[in-house]
Every structure is written in structure tokens, then in C-alpha cells.
Chains A and B, each alone.
Chain A
């Protein structure tokens, strides 16, 4: 079937910080370039979720006068705290004893979704065409194997894939260079990494799942500009993770939890760990009397430099966390994502103007401050495979004494889907019931994400083998999808003693955790109909 074709100089897949920074830089360098951004969310920002304590370094370079342009970067970090949590006690760690990368006094507490909305305005002002509600669902290749562009998703298919009356064919967007900026575990990025063997010789990528809630809290509990992180309880010492509590403007706190997806116990439920965390006296006292107004979750990159794939291939570049530029010990990825996009833009201009090869991206990247940052950070996350205690001692030596300059590089040994132990060998975890005041269930949480997918469309969570969940995964791992999914998409229902695996795909919030953690890699996330998914406000 022939589809309509549109030609662009550059097509960017994804309207997050890396894609938007790429677009802005491209137009700044060459204003007559035809640049478009495809975004699967119903608007820019709808699928963006992040802490976020923002380091302005990349933005200072991209839009130096951002302070004069009514940007949503307003709340300066004024105070910092780091707590080690025991079950009921907490120990405050002096900030001066924290590695420099974890000190935030020059940074701002922001909503990344709002920053993206603002960046989109700047991009549109420069003539970038932005198309929200149009997911790129397919990569197109030239006969020589190089990337030709992407195709958008067909609209108006029913559950079985038949055309409805409203059917609207997807279209092809061809470009001189296609930039993939889908964020962590982009489904096209994943295909490219495999096809072009971009991860050859690299460690397996490492991921985490991050939760975030926004609370409106009582005046006397609120300290605008306060940034607090915790480690320890409720996770055991062998599970990597921690929390953030950021006091933003308007009496809001951004409260979140990140858990490494290399956890071993299939009975662990990241969602319930996060809920339980809020019951700790040191946390409860902050949000008590307040009201939860938002909820969401998203997978994030933790692998760092060792796992960073090659970011160029014929006709295309990977930017931001579609490749994996997040700085884990810094707990920040927005500035590195933006910078990687800006470097990509410079590379593309050299390619279009002077026929310089796209492989220049790597050289430019290696000379940039992003690479220096990621290099210094590289040994922190792998050291946590030794357990919390040793990792803290090592990180202290590595980050404070040697500032990341130790002459060796630790490796990530396993992919996250390989780390689960058998269910029968691991302890079950008894999570407390939600009280609907501080802690909540998944049903009431998914409601706050505003997620929706038009009904009667093909299921966008594909099983390679539909029998595997019940015949294998349930038996061996007690089907962990029931627990790692942050919104309860996956259920095992028992009827007349027969177990059935149910996928409530309409609840999906596009976090990609299932695609990462499923022990047999049996679940593949593909793009649903455009505009589907969460409708995050200021996340």
C-alpha cells in the first residue's frame, strides 16, 4: 500500500528535552532547514515525567537569555538534606560530606513537562513544525540499509487490526537525517540498536523505574527550594534505589522513588515499596494533612557510559536517553539529554553543509562536558551490586577523594531481565494495605495520570508467545508483571481453576518497564494510536 510522503531535512522522533534541544539548535545554526518533531503524546509534555532538579548548563548554552523569556524555571534550590532511613529512624548525612555531583545549590526545582512546553514554544518560534498525537511507529530504510525516515501510526484500526470507517493511513516522513529522541527504551531506538549492533562491546543497559507524585501540602510543612533525598528503608540493602522530595512553588512537593530494575526478588512490587516509603515518620510528617494531586511512573536509564551504545548510524542519530545519557550519581539527565541533542544538531549541520560523516557525532560527544561528566560518574552504579554498605564506602572514595578519576571501570554484568531469582527461592513480601490518605492502590493512582487509549484498537503490548505468562512465567516467577507494572496493566485472573493472563492496555502509561523487566523478554511495547497514554500536567 502506498502512503503519502513528506520530505524534511531533519525529522526528530520525540518531543522531550533532547529532541526539542536538537530542533532549536538546528534552526539556530541554519534557519532555512525544514525540521519537524513527531510526538506520541496528545501534546508536548503529556508524556514527560521527571523529578526534577535542573542543572541549567545546557540551557545556558542553548538559550542564554532564558531568564528573560518567561521560562518555567523559577524555584532555586535553597536547602539540601540527605537521609539514611531505618525502619522508623533516620540519620541525616551532612551535605558537605556528599559527593560534589550531588550538591544542588546552583540548580532549580522544575517541572520538566512545563520546561518542554516552553521549549516547544521556543522551537515553534524558530519555525520548527511540531506534531503531537503522531507516534512514529516504523523505521524506513533506503536500499543500502541506511535510515530513510519514519512512518507514523495508522489511525482507526479495530482490535483485530481491521480498518474502521475512521481509518486514516499513516504517512512517511523522509529526511536527510532522522534523530531518535524517544527517551528511555524507545521502541524504535531499541530496533536500531539491534539492527546496527550499536551496543556491540558495551555492557548491558541498566534501568530503573521512577515513581512520582505531586502533593499539595500544609503551609507549615513546606519549605520552598528544599531538596531532600533518602536511601535505605523500605528497600533491603541489596536493592538499588532511593527517594526524592522536592519542595516546589505553590505549596507543592514532588515526591518520588526510583528502584533499580536489576532487583532480584520477583515478589517485589516497586509500586508498593514507594507507597510504603511514604509511611516512614520522616516522610509522613511532610505530607500529612496534604493532598495527592498527581501520579505517574517512567523507566529511566542507569547504565551510564559503560552501557552507552554507539549513537550514530547511516542516516540517523540517537540522542538523550534513547541512547542513555543520564548521569546516575547526579540523578539528572535533562541537561545531558539536551546537550547530546545540541551536539547532534552541530553534527547534522556539518553533514548537510560539508558532507562530513555522521560519525563525527562521537568525536564531538567525547570532547564535550557530557562525556566528562559521565566518565567521572561511571563507577557509582555498578558498585551497588556489592550492596548498599560497600557501595557507599566505595562511592565516597571514588567520588569524593578521586572525583571519579580511579584508573579502572567497573562493569554491569547482567541485563535487568536476567536478574530475577525463582519465586520459590525468594521471600514473599507482605505489603500493608493502602489507607487512602498517605498510601493508595493502583486503581486510584492510574486515574490521576489521565491515561486513556481509544477503545477498539489493537493491543499495543505484544506477547511474542501468548502462552508463556501462564505456562512458564507464573510458575517460575509468580508472573512479576502483576507487580512491576505501576498501573496494573497485567493481571492473572483465575476462573474455574484456570489462570488467564489479562492485559488492560488502556491503562498503560508508557513507562516501558514491562518491555525491560519481563524475564523472557516476551513483552514488546509498540506505539498505540496517536494521542493515547497519560496526560501529565506539571510532572
Chain B
């Protein structure tokens, strides 16, 4: 099987994100960036499938400015075979990303497309689903276990009620949950080797898709500061406050 893995460059999860003073977005200058954490799980799973002998080739793809290449290089360092960088400036909405990925899928003809269930920057959780719709492929979202069969996948999904196991025919889209696996570290020799693996560059504008924004962002602001808690004397007072002040019971 050939697996395409989509990876996104986001602000590192340890960084305290700061809203720009003019409310046009968040500060990204000189901020530590990393691969979106569930995308690491997607890469890891693809590498595991390849190591088990069921996968043939892994292609890692990212979309974004020049520095987004770092995420592809990281995927290459942990086991992807080659990379694609689709160059584009500015923020792309999930629909635009799915349209670009659709073009890459048509070109590469993978059996599986893996990606994280959502990106930790916009938290949209839409790209996998939209790509499935555009390609008219089956989708398995929030995967926490994947069992590769001959021409299908058995996927355990993390759903609100617990775990759901489904079977999808390939080709298919799988979006990965953090529980799927523990991503490996990139070793120093593998980082060196990754620098020599092929990385193809494509301009988003050359793909002939409409990636214009559909959403107008009006303002970005910080969530309100949490107020200090209070101590209540007894259960009766607690119930009274929950009922009359917080109005939650």
C-alpha cells in the first residue's frame, strides 16, 4: 500500500499563545513551531504499517510557507520516503487545504491518506472529512487503532460514547487520534539521511484550485480571565449558589 500523510506546521503546544495587540491574529514571529501533534501520530502509524510489510511507500505532504518544509523533513527523519511541499502564503482554510490535497492524491494515487484528526491551532477538524467528500472515498476519523487487511482497514474510533470499530474499503482517509501510538524520536543519523531524501516543491497557484478564503475573520481576542474561586461554608450554600447564581442546576 502507498500511504500519503499530511502534516501541518503549527505553534508548538508548549508555547503560550499571545493575541496580537490589534486583534488581527496571534503572534507567530520568533515563536517555536512544531508539527501538529496528531500528525506525528499519523506519520508514526504509516511507518509502522510499512515496517510490518503491509506498506510500500510513504509520502509526506505539507502546505505552507518555506519553513513548513521542516515538518516534512521531520516526517522523512522518522521513516517517510519522500516529501512534497506545496508552497502558499497566509492562512488556508480547511476547504482550500482539502482541494490542494485532492490534487496531490490524484497525482500520487495513494491507497491511504493519513492525517491528524485536527490541528491544534484552529482546531477545525474538517480537512479529512472534506477531502473524503471531494474524493468520494470512505473515511475513518479519530482513529485510535488501525488494523490493515487486504483491501480494507479495521479502524477503532474514539467517539463520545466510547469506542466504535468500523471497516472501510481502501482507498480511504484516516484521521488519527493521539491515542493511536507513541511517535518515535528522530535519531541524529536519520535526521542527516532525511536531508538527502527527495522533497518536491509545487506552487499552490499552479494546481488550478480556488483557495480563496470563504470566512471573514473579524477579530481575535483573548478568552476572559478566570476569576478567583470562592469558598462555601456548607453543602446547602453550594447548592443555593449553583442554583441561583451559576444557574447550572
Contacts and interface: CB of A to CB of B under 8 A. Distances in A.
A479 interface: no
A530 B29 CA distance: 23
B18 interface: yes
A131 B14 contact: no
Given A42-B12, A131-B191, A535-B14, A450 B182 contact: no
Contact of B189 (A4, A447, A538): A4
B187 A42 contact: no
A114 B187 contact: no
A493 to B, nearest CB: 22
Nearest to A117: B30
Contacts, number: 59
A293 B188 contact: no
B153 to A, nearest CB: 23
Contacts of B32: 42-43, 46, 450, 535, 537
B243 interface: no
Given A448-B16, A535-B12, A535-B15, A156 B185 contact: yes
Contacts of B34: 42
Q: How large, as a class, is the contact surface on chain A?
A: 20 to 34
Contacts of A46: 32
Contacts of A131: 188, 191
B30 A152 contact: no
B21 interface: yes
Contacts of A450: 12, 14-16, 32
Contacts of A113: 30
Interface string B181-220: 0111101110110000000000000000000000000000
A134 interface: yes
B31 interface: yes
A171 B30 contact: no
B12 A134 contact: no
A165 interface: yes
B185 A166 contact: yes
Contacts of A129: 192
Interface in A509-539: 530, 535, 537-538
Nearest to A529: B185
A216 B18 CA distance: 12
Interface of A: 4, 6, 42-43, 45-46, 111, 113-114, 117, 129, 131, 134, 152, 155-156, 164-166, 168-169, 171, 216, 293, 447-448, 450-452, 530, 535, 537-538
27 contacts: A6-B189, A6-B192, A42-B32, A45-B30, A113-B30, A114-B30, A117-B30, A131-B191, A134-B188, A156-B185, A164-B182, A165-B182, A166-B185, A168-B184, A168-B185, A168-B187, A171-B188, A216-B21, A293-B18, A450-B15, A450-B16, A452-B14, A530-B185, A535-B12, A537-B15, A537-B32, A538-B30
